[in-house]
Amino acid sequence: MVCGVILSGGMSRRFQVSGEPWVDKAFYPVGGVPMIKVMAGKLSRVSSRLIVASGHPSRVPVYQSLLGDAIVVSDDPELSGPLAGIYSALGQCRSNVLIALPNDMPLVSEELLELMVSLAGEHDVVSPILPNGLVETTVLAVKVETSKWVLESLKNIGGRSRVADLHRGAPRIYLINVKSRGFEAREFKNINKREDLEGEPSEYPEGPLDGDVRITRDYSLEDVREKTSKIIGSLWGTLLLGRLKEELHTYLEKGVYMLAGYTLLDSPNKYERALGRKIIESLKPE
């Protein structure tokens, strides 16, 4: 059994047109169908329960009216961003695996979703990775039990909002090299602006990765609570023990440059934080 989650808590700022009323891009038609319904159709092929993370409570009835069979949740107030939506969705999931997608990636293939779900049986977090080391962090399949304790631990720390914290905080992650697996680059095109629905087909960025990436770390929730040495090389080693360099090396030696950049953002050193921002910006498509 699998739960499917649509992350739809954003404000669609880049989707707006000056002088026109505000438009929720989730309702914008793609091929004559609201984009969020396109995403719901894809998730229905691999999941038995659909959950929509709507962001603010005021948006719950709006989404419920469009997707009557879905469970619609608002963001958990102790987290922020998509991470808050994922945590709220986990509370409504009665399955072992949850797969989540943003509401603006209508070209993603069902074959990729099936592969992600199959890999989530042996790994805590599964996401696509591009050849340049960019991880599509909001496209993810997770073990529900592990993700709950990771996010509950983050709530105790406070101030966390990036979905990448799930990847950095989970013991076992698997990153699917979508180029080497034969998936098309256009599948990972986010519809941030209306013109993104048109234009030339997307191409993969250049990069050194030529295969999938597996990162396995041997620790448990108890190790996190007790701050044992097993957490070194993960988010917890960085946040709880100040051992940033070991986590940074974990990602650099595998070519997972996006997670390396996010690790640097947790540095107390302003120059290392600036480098982290530079790395992340350099990986994003123009």
Domains located in the chain, CATH noted: 2-216 (3.90.550.10), 220-286 (no CATH)
Look up the pTM and report it: 0.92
**pLDDT score, position 16:** 61
Q: Which residues of the chain have pLDDT under 70?
A: 9-17, 19-23, 192-197, 199-201, 286
Reported as a single tens digit per residue, the pLDDT across 63-86 is 787 787 888 888 888 888 889 899
Order of strands, sheet of 97-102, starting from the edge strand that comes earlier in the sequence: 71-73, 49-53, 2-7, 97-102, 140-143, 125-129, 172-177, 213-216
Helix-helix angle 81-90:144-157, to 10 degrees = 130
**pLDDT score, position 194:** 64
**pLDDT score, position 58:** 73
- Rounded Cα distance, 72 and 27, in Å: 15
Reported as a single tens digit per residue, the pLDDT across 177-216 is 999 999 999 898 877 666 666 766 678 999 999 999 999 9
- Rounded Cα distance, 139 and 239, in Å: 24
**pLDDT score, position 29:** 80
**pLDDT score, position 79:** 84
**pLDDT score, position 14:** 62
- Rounded Cα distance, 8 and 16, in Å: 16
**pLDDT score, position 129:** 98
